[in-house]
Amino acid sequence: MNTACAFVYFPLLSVSVLAGPYTFTLLATYIRGEKAFSASILLDDITVGYYNSETKIYVARGNTTNEDDVIDPDTLKDVGENLLNHFIGRSHLLKPVNETESRVVYQVANVCEQSDNKLDQMISKTAYQGSTFDDLHFLDGKITYQLFSNYTEEPGKIRNLELSKSRLEKLYYPACIKALNNYLKKRGTQLNRKVKPLVRLIQKANSDSGGSRVSCLSSGFYPRHINLTLFRDGQPVSDHEITGGDLLPNADGTYQMRKSLEISAADKHKYTCSVTHLSLDNTLDVTLDFSKQFESAILSVLIVLALVLVFGTGVVIYKRRNRRPAPKEHVET
Distance CA(80)–CA(322), nearest Å, equals: 96
Instruction: Determine the residue type at 287.
Output: T
Distance CA(124)–CA(128), nearest Å, equals: 14
Going by the DSSP 8-state scheme, the letter that residue 325 receives in this structure is P
Q: Is 186 helix (H, G, I), strand (E, B) or coil?
A: helix
Going by the DSSP 8-state scheme, the letter that residue 56 receives in this structure is T
Strand residues in the chain grouped as ranges (E): 3-9, 24-31, 38-43, 46-52, 57-60, 94-96, 105-114, 121-128, 131-139, 142-147, 151-153, 198-205, 212-221, 226-232, 235-236, 242-249, 255-263, 270-277, 284-289
Residue 90 confidence (pLDDT): 75
At residue 166's C-alpha, the angle toward residues 161 and 171, to 5°, is 135
Query: What pLDDT digit, counting tens, does each position of 186-215 carry?
Result: 988 888 899 999 999 999 988 777 889 999
Max CA distance (Å), the chain: 141
Query: What pLDDT digit, counting tens, does each position of 25-56 carry?
Result: 888 889 888 889 988 888 888 889 999 999 99
Residue 155 confidence (pLDDT): 46
List the chain domain ranges: 3-191, 198-291
Residue 12 confidence (pLDDT): 46
Distance CA(227)–CA(250), nearest Å, equals: 18
Distance CA(87)–CA(35), nearest Å, equals: 10
Distance CA(136)–CA(110), nearest Å, equals: 9
Q: What is the pTM of this model?
A: 0.68
Tell me if 48 sits within 8 A of 42, measured CB to CB.
yes
Residue 239 confidence (pLDDT): 93
Distance CA(130)–CA(10), nearest Å, equals: 9
The pLDDT of residue 268 is above 60? yes
- What is the overall mean pLDDT for the chain? 79
Over range 63-87, report the average pLDDT. Answer: 88
CA gyration radius, the chain: 32
Distance CA(105)–CA(6), nearest Å, equals: 21
Residue 116 confidence (pLDDT): 57
Number of alpha carbons in the 13 Å side-chain half-sphere of residue 260: 12
Residue 24 confidence (pLDDT): 81
Distance CA(37)–CA(167), nearest Å, equals: 19
In degrees and rounded to multiples of 5, residue 66 shows phi and psi of -70, 120
Query: What pLDDT digit, counting tens, does each position of 143-164 carry?
Result: 788 877 555 555 445 556 677 7
Number of helices and strands in the chain (H, E): 4, 19
Distance CA(200)–CA(215), nearest Å, equals: 8
Residue that wins the pLDDT comparison between 102 and 254: 254
Residue 294 confidence (pLDDT): 47
Is the domain covering 198-291 a CATH 3.40.50.800 domain?
Answer: no
Domain 3-191, second-level architecture: 2-Layer Sandwich (3.30)
Distance CA(39)–CA(108), nearest Å, equals: 11
Query: What pLDDT digit, counting tens, does each position of 299-313 carry?
Result: 565 666 667 676 767
